[in-house]
Structures are given as structure tokens and as C-alpha cells.
């Protein structure tokens, strides 16, 4: 749980992936903390090619950054067997400072959960003596450290128990046949108990019993055993000899979670069931851990660093419930809220990797050649080899620095990367609509913009109708108002803009002075979604 996750935006592009890899390496160098680069959704073909070319492993794939039960559970909790006693359970709880213990069989399959409140409730229910017990004699012998003098240890005693603080006459008048009597060195009381056919005599304080009385006990079938405990201690121990399976919670689904259960769900389950703990089981019902309620009071949260984004809609699920340590980005601020202070490094450059590479250079941190190559590739990708209007002189300068340290040639690397952007065979319209897709909100309107940057776009793109339908599917699934795709031709330095629906088409006509063609709205010189597409749309919506 202490691992810091460095993660880029959803539907990641090359800059998102490479900035996470590079910053995770840099952050670990500066802090020494365990740091892992991650990504959500799918890697783009260009990114896959670049990582393979450089011999780099991709970041760790994740579906979200929620904390899960496995992140905070105790993996080796003490356990009980079903035939262990309430006393043993109570002592183990006290020793381990726990309010609940899982009960397992010999295959570590969970059979129940015992809570301290259940023990207390049982004690209160049994506070009045005499009480009726239903226990194996062998268990009583073990709990009282007793010696069997008459009868069989395999017998089960089921009846009330009396403490003989009374005369022999009172015993004859009070004790019924089959009931048990706790008695000390009182031969006349022992004799009276046998006369009324007591089912069991428990001799306390190591009290003796005449041989003749033992013979009589054998003849009557009375069980007799002797303990060194006092009468009060013997009665208490017998009360605590109840097996835990009689007081444990048997409703397994109510007291269990799986290791991959999100921590928020587990918290809700603990509150609803008013439990002190939840047993953590695998798919076979075997115990793998324990989630204690007191642990959740420590307000655990995942520690994350965001690269190449800061909009909640673009973040991995669970980011808003995490502790964001830092943001490194080159986009506009998107409204993430945090509870703790954090480091923010945002600047107007063409690529997030430009900012991270500058940090490497300024701090003189060790920079492996593959990491340098990854940042160089990301800069070339985001700036479309310096053709995008978002390109700055800082991008060009740091790219030259990275070229030296990576051994990669800018022109060769860019050409091979751009060629790798489109899978073979050409994918369907849904693939295009999902590429580098980002969601934005302005006022009450929510929309997405996808972007595909290729060469010879007009020759390989799906039909505009197919693309509109694919965009509309995303509108419906994500509750958006409209959606756009920007098809950017790297060599022509122009883009086609296609909308999902009539609302999007109307918004585009009001925002741009492009030429309407049968393929879409042609936008000459438009290369950048961030600088040339989003601002005009926002101006129309906010104007």
C-alpha cells in the first residue's frame, strides 16, 4: 500500500505512458520510495512499437487505483478451530488485541467468525447459576486440568451444575437425578449427591474421595473427576468451555470479503453488519487474511502521482479517493480537488516529457538511455515532430539533449513511430473513436475529443458515417452531449473534424471557419487539439 503509483490519463497516448515511466524512475531516485508506473485502458500501437524498440517494459496495467482489501488486510491473523472453547477464544483475543477471530477447519476453509461481543453476550446470558451445560467430558477434563476418577471420558454431560455450598440434607432436597455437583472435601455431601443419582461430581481443590464412594459412583454410572481449581474457578471454567462454533457467526457471506474487493465496499459492509472485522477468503473459501475495523480508522488512501493530465474525467477510477502527491502536466487545469498540499509542475510546452526531461537535466539524475529514448519519442509524438503549434523552443532544445543521451536519431525515430500508429489490418471505426480520447466539461455541456495523427489519413480512415456512429456510442455510454474526432494528417498539417451528432456539428460550425466536405469539416493548419480545437469550442460554449 505504501507504493506510489505514477499514472497518466485514460486512453493513453505515448506522452502519457512515457511520462509515467520517466517520472516514476526519477521520483524513486530522489525519494527512495517504491514507485511504479501504471496505465489504464489500452496501449496505442505507436507506444507499443516505441517501448519494444527501446527494450522497455510497459507500465503496470491497472483498471483503477482504488485501495483494495488486499492492500491493508492482515495476512497471518490468529485463527480458531470450531471445537476450541470460549475461554481459548477470549485469551487469544486478549493476547492479540483483537475484537474478532476467524474460525477455520483443517483446510483453512472459513467456517465462521467469533466476535468479542458474542463472547460477552454469552457470559451475560449465562450469568445465573445453576446453568445447564452440554459438553463432552473430555473437553471438561482438558479445560479444568482434571483427573478422571470414575466414568468414561467419551461421555457427554447434558444437565445443570450446582455448586455445593450447602448441607447434605439440602443436596438431597435440591439436586435432581442426572445433575452435576461441584463439591470440595465434603464426604457427606459427596455421599448425598450419589444417593440422589447425580450425573457428575467435580471435586475441587484436589479434594479426596473415599474408595467406597468411588465404587458406588461406578455402580451408579456417575462421572467423577478431580481438579485443583477452586469451586468458583471450576464453575467459571465450565461456563467458558462452550465450543466457539456455538456462538460464532455462521453466515459466511455476511462476514467475508475477497482480497480484490475495493476498500470502500468493505467499509460499507463493516458498517452495515456492525462487525469488528471481516474475514478475507479466496475463491475456494480459504482464509487469506483479516480486515479489521480499527485499521480502517487510520484513513488509508492510495498515493498517486498524475502525469500528462489533471482533469477528473481523464483520470483513472479511484484517483479522486487517493492522496495525490504531485501533478506534472502541460494542459489546462481541470478541477481536481485534494485534501492535502501537493507539488504541481504545469507549464506551456508541447509535451509533459519535456518538463520531466528538464527535471532530469537540472537535478543531474541518472538517465538510462532507454528512458531518454522514451521521453524523446513522447516529445516527437506530442509535437508531431515539432509541427504542432504547441511546440516551443524548450521542446526542441530538450529533444536535442535527449537525442544525445538516447542514441536515437530524431528524424528516423519520428518516421518509424508515425508509421507504427495504425495497426495492420486497419481497425474498425470504434478503434478510431477511442484513440487518445479525452472528456471535457464546459458549463452544463460534456463532450469528448478523440485524435488520430497519421500520414495519408484520407486513404485509410473509415467512412464518416461509421465514425459518427462510433462516436455516438461513446456519447450514449458515458452520458455525454456530443463527441468529436480529429483526424490529423501529419504531412499535410491539416485535420478533419467529425462530430457524433447534429448538436456537435452545430457547435463545430459556430467554433470554426473550416470547409465542410463529404468527409467532415476540413481545418487547414490545425494540428493541436489542446491549442487549436478545444479553445474555440470552449469560447462558443462559455460566450
Average pLDDT of the residues in 466-493: 95
Is 70 exceeded by the pLDDT of residue 127?
no
Separation of alpha carbons 543 and 523, rounded Å: 22
Is 70 exceeded by the pLDDT of residue 128?
no
Question: What is the tens place of the pLDDT at every residue in 31-83?
Answer: 999 999 999 999 999 999 999 999 999 999 999 998 889 988 999 999 999 98
| Nearest of 487, 530, 540, 532 to residue 509 by alpha carbon | 540
Model pLDDT, residue 125 = 60
- Residue 444 near residue 476 (C-beta atoms within 8 A): no
Separation of alpha carbons 500 and 77, rounded Å: 55
Under the banding of pLDDT at 50, 70 and 90, the label for residue 473 is very high
Model pLDDT, residue 446 = 95
Buried b (16+ CB within 10 A) or exposed e, 132-153: ebebbbebbbebbebebbbbee
Q: Is the pTM of this model over 0.85?
A: no
* CATH number of this structure's domain 71-123+245-296: 3.10.580.10
For the 429-542 domain, the top CATH level (class) is: alpha beta
H-only helix segments in 243-350: 263-273, 293-296
DSSP letter at 58? P
Separation of alpha carbons 435 and 382, rounded Å: 14
Residue listed under C-alpha cell 474526432: 485
Model pLDDT, residue 434 = 93
Question: What is the tens place of the pLDDT at every residue in 298-322?
Answer: 656 789 999 998 888 888 888 888 8
Residue 17: partners with Cβ closer than 8 Å, 6 or more residues away: 8, 37, 39, 43, 47, 51, 58, 59, 378
Separation of alpha carbons 75 and 91, rounded Å: 21
Question: What is the tens place of the pLDDT at every residue in 154-209?
Answer: 998 888 888 888 899 999 999 999 999 999 999 999 999 999 999 999 999 999 99
Model pLDDT, residue 321 = 82
Separation of alpha carbons 516 and 513, rounded Å: 9
Question: What is the tens place of the pLDDT at every residue in 365-395?
Answer: 999 999 999 999 999 999 999 998 899 999 9
Is 70 exceeded by the pLDDT of residue 339?
no
The side-by-side arrangement of strands in the sheet containing 521-524 is 438-442, 445-454, 482-489, 494-499, 521-524, 515-516
Model pLDDT, residue 447 = 97
Q: In degrees, to the nearest 5, what angle opens at C-alpha 144 toward C-alphas 139 and 148?
A: 75
Is 60 exceeded by the pLDDT of residue 130?
no
Question: What is the tens place of the pLDDT at every residue in 236-268?
Answer: 888 788 888 888 888 888 899 999 998 888 989
Report DSSP letters for 437-496, one per residue.
-EEEEETTEEEEEEEEEESSHHHHPPPHHHHHHHHHHHHHHHT-SEEEEEEEETTTTEEE
Which is more confidently placed, 534 or 132? 534
In the chain, domain spans: 4-67+302-419, 71-123+245-296, 429-542
**Peptide bond just before 425 cis, omega within 30 deg:** yes
Helix, strand, coil: what percent of the chain each, to 5? 40, 25, 35
Under the banding of pLDDT at 50, 70 and 90, the label for residue 13 is very high
| Nearest of 398, 385, 401 to residue 347 by alpha carbon | 398
For the 4-67+302-419 domain, the top CATH level (class) is: alpha beta
Task: Tell me the backbone φ, ψ of residue 153, rounded to 5 degrees.
Answer: -70, -15
Model pLDDT, residue 308 = 92
Is 50 exceeded by the pLDDT of residue 129?
no
Number of H helices and number of E strands within the chain? Answer: 21, 23
Amino acid at each position: 500500500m505504501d507504493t506510489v503509483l505514477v499514472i497518466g490519463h485514460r486512453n493513453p497516448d505515448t506522452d502519457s505512458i512515457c511520462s509515467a515511466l520517466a517520472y516514476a524512475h526519477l521520483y524513486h531516485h530522489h525519494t527512495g520510495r517504491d514507485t511504479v508506473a501504471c496505465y489504464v485502458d489500452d496501449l496505442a500501437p505507436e507506444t507499443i512499437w516505441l517501448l519494444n524498440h527501446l527494450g522497455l517494459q510497459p507500465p503496470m496495467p491497472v483498471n483503477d487505483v482504488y485501495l483494495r482489501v488486499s492492500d491493508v488486510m492482515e495476512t497471518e491473523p490468529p485463527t480458531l478451530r470450531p471445537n476450541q472453547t470460549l475461554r481459548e477464544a477470549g485469551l487469544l483475543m486478549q493476547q492479540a488485541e483483537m475484537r474478532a477471530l476467524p474460525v477455520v477447519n483443517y483446510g483453512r476453509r472459513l467456517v465462521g467468525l467469533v466476535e468479542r461481543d458474542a463472547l460477552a453476550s454469552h457470559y451475560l446470558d449465562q450469568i445465573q447459576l445453576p446453568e445447564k451445560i452440554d459438553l463432552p467430558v473430555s473437553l471438561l477434563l482438558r479445560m479444568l486440568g482434571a483427573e478422571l476418577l470414575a466414568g468414561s471420558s467419551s461421555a457427554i454431560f447434558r444437565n445443570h451444575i450446582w455448586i455445593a455450598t450447602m448441607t447434605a440434607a439440602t443436596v438431597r432436597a435440591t439436586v435432581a437425578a442426572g445433575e452435576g455437583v461441584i463439591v470440595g472435601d465434603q464426604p457427606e455431601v459427596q455421599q448425598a449427591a450419589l444417593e440422589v443419582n447425580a450425573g457428575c461430581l467435580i471435586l475441587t481443590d484436589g479434594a479426596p474421595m473415599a474408595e467406597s464412594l468411588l465404587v458406588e459412583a461406578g455402580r451408579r454410572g456417575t462421572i467423577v473427576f478431580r481438579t485443583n481449581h477452586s469451586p468458583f474457578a471450576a464453575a467459571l471454567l465450565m461456563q467458558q468451555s462452550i465450543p466457539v462454533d456455538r456462538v460464532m457467526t455462521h453466515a459466511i457471506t455476511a462476514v467475508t470479503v475477497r482480497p480484490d474487493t475495493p476498500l470502500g465496499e468493505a467499509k460499507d459492509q463493516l458498517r452495515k453488519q456492525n462487525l469488528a472485522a471481516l474475514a478475507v477468503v479466496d475463491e475456494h473459501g480459504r482464509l487469506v487474511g483479516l480486515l479489521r475495523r480499527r485499521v480502517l480508522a487510520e484513513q488509508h488512501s492510495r498515493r498517486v502521482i498524475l502525469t500528462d493530465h489533471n482533469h477528473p474525467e481523464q483520470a483513472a477510477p479511484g484517483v479522486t479517493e487517493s492522496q495525490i502527491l504531485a501533478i506534472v502536466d502541460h494542459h489546462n487545469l481541470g478541477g481536481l480537488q485534494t485534501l492535502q498540499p501537493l507539488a504541481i509542475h504545469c507549464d506551456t510546452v508541447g509535451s509533459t516529457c519535456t518538463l520531466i526531461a528538464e527535471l532530469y537535466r537540472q537535478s543531474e539524475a541518472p538517465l538510462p538511455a532507454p528512458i531518454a529514448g522514451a521521453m524523446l519519442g513522447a516529445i516527437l509524438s506530442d509535437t508531431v515532430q515539432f509541427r504542432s503549434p504547441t511546440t516551443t523552443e524548450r521542446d526542441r532544445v530538450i529533444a536535442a539533449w535527449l537525442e544525445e543521451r538516447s542514441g536515437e536519431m530524431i528524424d528516423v525515430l519520428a518516421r518509424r513511430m508515425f508509421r507504427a500508429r495504425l495497426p495492420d489490418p486497419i481497425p474498425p471505426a470504434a478503434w478510431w473513436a477511442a484513440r487518445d480520447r479525452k472528456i471535457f466539461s464546459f458549463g452544463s455541456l460534456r463532450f469528448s475529443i478523440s485524435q488520430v495523427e497519421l500520414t495519408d489519413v484520407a486513404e485509410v480512415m473509415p467512412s464518416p458515417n461509421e465514425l459518427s456512429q462510433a462516436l455516438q456510442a461513446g456519447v450514449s455510454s458515458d452520458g455525454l452531449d456530443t463527441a468529436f474526432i480529429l483526424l490529423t494528417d501529419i504531412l499535410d498539417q491539416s485535420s478533419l473534424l467529425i462530430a457524433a451528432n447534429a448538436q456537435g456539428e452545430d457547435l463545430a460550425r459556430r467554433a470554426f471557419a473550416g470547409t465542410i466536405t463529404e468527409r467532415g469539416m476540413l481545418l487547414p493548419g490545425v494540428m493541436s487539439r489542446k491549442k487549436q480545437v478545444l479553445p474555440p469550442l470552449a469560447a462558443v460554449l462559455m460566450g
